[in-house]
């Protein structure tokens, strides 16, 4: 089974972008960490990043189909700033049977007020916030525990 690790806008610049906020690990390194965690947990991991809202929606719909066919477990999703703006991503998650764990590197609740609201949270199966890039791994483990009886 597959787990999708989905990253939204500006996360391609991870490691270079605001390192005091997001750390110095690159997205390629985070994705390698996720693949290793997937192997440990017994899943194939697909990593996808886009700066385009529609590309993220297409990927969510694709994984909705894969979950229905029993080929995927769910998704770890850092939607970046779309978290705070996108009704379309909320609807995309609601519209399919894909369990999504919302993930943020920084503690968004300790930052500017415009980061305190998430359109994704009401559609998410779980949320991981403020653990740095380790949050992706915590989210993958949480997803496995939530959705896979073989990973208690």
Q: By CB under 6 A, is residue 134 in contact with ligand DQA?
A: no
Shortest gap between Cβ of 61 and ligand DQA (angstroms)? 21
Which residue number places its CB atom closest to ligand DQA?
80
d(CA 119, CA 126): 13
Q: By CB under 6 A, is residue 10 in contact with ligand DQA?
A: yes
Nearer to ligand DQA, 59 or 104 (CB): 104
Can you state the percent helix, strand and coil of the chain, rounding each to 5? Answer: 50, 20, 35
Site string for ligand DQA, 68-97 (x = CB under 6 A): ----------x-xx-x--------------
Interacting residues toward ligand DQA by CB under 6 A: 10, 78, 80-81, 83, 104-106, 108, 115
Q: Annotated active-site positions, please?
A: 22, 104
């Amino acid at each position: 089974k597959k787990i999708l690790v989905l990253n939204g806008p500006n996360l391609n610049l991870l490691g270079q972008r605001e390192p005091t906020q997001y750390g110095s690990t690159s997205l390629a390194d985070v994705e390698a960490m996720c693949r290793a965690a997937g192997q440990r947990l017994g899943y194939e991991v697909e990593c996808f990043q886009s700066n385009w809202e529609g590309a993220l929606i297409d990927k969510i719909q694709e994984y909705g189909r894969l979950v229905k066919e029993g080929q995927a477990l769910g998704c770890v999703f850092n939607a970046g700033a779309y978290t705070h703006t996108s009704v379309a991503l909320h609807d995309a998650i609601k519209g399919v049977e894909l369990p999504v764990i919302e993930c943020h590197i920084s503690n968004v609740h300790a930052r500017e007020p415009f980061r305190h609201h998430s359109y994704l949270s009401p559609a998410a199966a779980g949320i991981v916030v403020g653990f740095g890039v380790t949050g992706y791994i915590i989210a993958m483990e949480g997803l496995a525990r939530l959705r896979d009886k073989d990973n208690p």
